[in-house]
Amino acid sequence: MHDDRSTGADRASATKASSRQPRADAARRTYLLSAALTAFAALGLVRLDLDAFPSVGWAMPVWAVAALAVAGALMVFDVEFRSETYTFTFAELVLVLGLFFATPASLIVGRLGGELLFLTIRERQPLRKLSMNLSAFFAETVVLFTVQQALMPEMDAREPRSWLVALVAVVAAELVGFSAVATAVRWHGGPLTFRSILQIGLVTAPANTSLALVICVLLDAEPLAVPLLGGVAVFLLVTYRSYSALRQRYESLSLLYDFTHLVSGAREPDEVLDAMLNQAKDLLRAERAEFWLQRGDDVYQRHVVDDEGHSSSRLSIPAGLAQLVADGLADRHDAVLLARGEPTRPSSALGDLGARDALVAPILEGDLLIGFVVVANRLSDIYTFVNQDARIFGTLASHAGVALQNGRLIQRLHEQARQREHEALHDPLTGLPNRAQFADRLERRFDDLGHREIAIALMDLDGFKEINDTLGHQSGDRVLVEVAARLQEVVDDDTLAVRLGGDEFALLAPPRATRAGLEATCGAIRRAIGAPIDIDGIHVTMGVSIGLALAPHDGATAETLIRCADVAMYAAKSGSGSGVCFYDADYDENTPRRLTLAHELRTALEARQLHAVFQPKIALATGRVTGVEALCRWEHPTLGTVMPDEFIPLADRIGASGELTALMLSTSIEQVERWEAAGQRLDVAVNVSMQALVDPGLVETVRRLLADSTIEPRRLTLEITETNVMSDAERTLGVLGELAAVGVRLSIDDFGTGYS
């Protein structure tokens, strides 16, 4: 046996085949090397004894040597491993038998003639390869006889020393051939590993030489025994071929398993397709692999993997491939086999692919054909793709189709998840980040606070409700979109602008922001938003109130800072700071003290912690006390005296104004009665809040308290502020009429302040 990679790769097509044309300089070098080998062999030939006759007394004729050379070249078997094809022949038989039974001239002429016949008729090698191989054979044969005649001119098949000389001569000859062919292969870019091929050659050359020596001994001693040895050799050859086929199937299944395992973990369609192309290229020992994914009616995305790397292009499907698809590619379980030399297959498809042979398999998503995958150019000049390859490739494409479908499903799920995440963190109307993202970013800023300040601004549009009520909510939405766009134009990329909801917006300033910079930004925002907005030919002008708060000065938590900015914003809306206001504790009505008082006020009413003090009314003309005004005071057990301007608004807020008014009325009437019993006749005035004034039970409470007392109704005066009366005139005027009917006196407090 003989590894053709080591002594004549091209003569038996053992090297890795390539469809790419050789580079011009490599071809030129090959011709020069062929000429050099021929010249070297010619010089050596001059020094040979061409008339040396075999010791057996008879010589093999030229035609027998040629026939033996052809037979040795035909008796081959190949082992394909990954992308390499190793071809083993019996070429040593010709060399060894020629040493013992042929003259140098007969061996040279016969071998070159037989190899020429084989390479031109069977292999159809181009002139470049043919000249290279023949010159290498010529040099090998000359080196063979040169070494033999130098070491042992007379060879004897029964002499052990002759066997050793034959082995040395054969190895020397093959080293010359291997070196020449290896050099040419390297020039043409072939992936030749000198060390591995040399190691294989050092094993196979002695084995083949030993077999040839046994045949020589039998021919010399007992020629009739040679057929017996030939039968053993044929048996070993058939057995090893079966082993090679079985090993090839195992490797294919192993690579198919590796591919299945690989794509099962892939998550993106591109990963699946890239994995498939790389694995298919190795699995089927192809020069290149490519997939075509449909992007339109006849437009495909083509991606190619070959020795040059990856390439991608978008193109229309050629007619030959289009016909192959139309012929029912999606209905096939196996791949379509486009083998070499089969006229029944559409040659136009091979032409479209630029290939000698190919396999084409469908890529399906469910029952829908979405593309196809191709492996082209089997890496062998001897073998082409076969039906077994088509079945394996079809299985691989089927696995890839399922993996691709799963990958696309996962990709769609990821896209939907990203879309849902975007929707959860952005306002659908304006596209700005929303309240959830603002809270999250603010919380993270507090987590990384360190010594840096955090500045936020809350903004509320002025007069937006009137636009909604007048022009409709659709126009209001257009205003909000325009405001959001102007807001984004003003702030920089490091500032987070959000829509909190309704007509409320917010800013999260960058850490480097200063108070002066914030004021300047807010001023620019007010000017930008204050510019007229065209709504279907109607120009509307918006104002905006902005409240700012800084951490850690105004609040140590995100929630507190937002509340402080909200307080500042309402302070700005009420007129403080010309529409832009920083937080100040004086603006804050919702302090912890107020929250505590609001919680304890109702209990204080039940425990009668609130009492009345009376302020006298003196006639300026006489200096006489004519009456008193009842004022409410709260003596808190821990906070001390609480003044009315602090707890009366709290009573309105918690709905305790009616109870507080009833307490003041009863206390005042009782005190007037006590003064009258003591001989002091005085009238009393009691303030009534807006919430108490619209209380349906107020009139009945006044009527009951007066009925239970001894004083006349006209001695009780109820003081009502002008703004309270006019805020809901229809209701309050009715209540005032009922009170007047009871007989009490009514007084307008703060007259003229409301211009009513």
Amino acid 20: pLDDT: 40
State the average pLDDT over residues 656-681: 86
Among 528-542, 575-589, 612-626, where is mean pLDDT lowest? 575-589
In terms of Cβ atoms closer than 10 Å to its own Cβ (0-12, 13-18, 19+), residue 203 is exposed
Under DSSP, is residue 280 helix (H, G, I), strand (E, B) or coil?
A: helix
Structure tokens at 315: 């193109």
The residue length of the chain stands at 756
The phi-psi region of residue 679 (left if phi > 0; otherwise alpha if psi is between -120 and 50; otherwise beta) is left
Choose between 337 and 279: higher pLDDT.
Answer: 337
Q: Which helix (H) or strand (E) holds 548?
A: strand 543-551
* Choice between 369 and 515, residue whose per-residue pLDDT is larger: 515
Question: What pLDDT is recorded for position 487?
Answer: 93
Q: Rounded mean pLDDT of the chain?
A: 78
What is the reported pLDDT for 525? 92
Q: What is the pLDDT of residues 10-47, one digit of tens each?
A: 333 333 333 344 445 767 888 888 888 889 888 988 88
Out of 414-428, 498-512, 736-750, give the one with best mean pLDDT.
Answer: 498-512
Percent of the chain whose predicted confidence (pLDDT) is above 90: 8
d(CA 580, CA 226): 113
Helix, strand, coil proportions of the chain in percent (round to 5)?
55, 20, 25
**Residue 750 pLDDT greater than 80, yes or no:** no
Sort 287 into a burial class: Cβ within 10 Å, 0-12 / 13-18 / 19+.
buried
Residues 6 or more apart in contact with residue 349 via CB below 8 angstroms: 320, 321, 323, 324, 338, 358, 360
Residue 338 pairs with which residues in a beta bridge? 358
Q: Does residue 261 have a pLDDT over 70?
A: no
* DSSP secondary structure, 327-375, as one string: TTGGG-SSPEEE-TT-TTS-HHHHHHHT-SSEEEEEEEETTEEEEEEEE
HSE toward the beta carbon, residue 271, CA cutoff 13 A: 15
H-run or E-run covering 271: helix 269-283
Q: Which tops the pLDDT comparison, 79 or 553?
A: 553
Highest mean pLDDT among 176-185, 261-270, 545-554, 729-738: 545-554
Q: Which two tokens stand for residue 478?
A: 């257009």
CB atoms within 10 A of CB 39: 12
For residues 450 and 492, what is the distance between their CA atoms, to the nearest angstrom?
Answer: 23
* pLDDT tens digits, 54-67: 776 678 888 988 88
- DSSP for 439-498 reads HHHHHHHHHT-TT--EEEEEEEEETHHHHHHHH-HHHHHHHHHHHHHHHHHHS-TTSEEE
Which of 151-155, 346-350, 431-435 has the highest average model confidence (pLDDT)? 431-435
Tokens, residue 422:
């975007």
570-601 per-position pLDDT tens digit: 888 877 667 899 988 766 666 666 777 777 87
Q: What is the pLDDT of residues 81-110, one digit of tens each?
A: 444 455 556 777 888 888 888 888 888 888
pLDDT reading at 497 higher than 90: yes
Please provide residue 216's backbone torsions phi and psi, each rounded to the nearest 5 degrees.
-60, -45
Strands 84-88 and 286-294: unpaired
456 confidence band (pLDDT: 50, 70, 90): very high
Cα(585)–Cα(593) distance, integer angstroms:
12
How far is 279 from 265, CA to CA, in rounded Å? 15
- Name the one residue in this structure whose structure tokens are 């952005």: 426
Alpha carbon 165 to chain centroid distance?
A: 67
For the ranges 330-339, 380-389, 671-680, the lowest mean pLDDT is seen at 380-389
Q: Is the Cα torsion angle 520, 522, 523, 525 positive or negative in sign?
A: positive
CA distances, 400 to each of 256, 380, 394 (Å): 11, 26, 10
Closest CA to 561 of 576, 581, 583, 546: 583
Greater confidence, 732 or 506? 506
Per the CB < 8 A criterion, the answer to whether 299 and 316 are in contact is yes
How many alpha carbons lie under 13 Å from residue 729 in its C-beta half-sphere?
Answer: 5
| Cα within 13 Å of Cα(311), Cβ side | 9
What is residue 447's predicted lDDT score, i.e. its pLDDT?
84
The region of weakest confidence among 4-13, 59-68, 386-395 is 4-13
Helix (H) or strand (E) holding 718: strand 716-721
Segment of 10-14, 206-210, 225-229, 431-435 carrying the highest mean pLDDT = 431-435
Q: Bigger pLDDT: 340 or 469?
A: 469
pTM passes above 0.75: no
Q: Which pLDDT band, with edges at 50, 70 and 90, does 459 fall under? A: very high
Could you tell me what percent of the chain has a pLDDT over 70? 80
C-alpha distances in Å from residue 418, one per residue of 150, 268, 411, 498: 82, 15, 10, 19
pLDDT of residue 498: 94
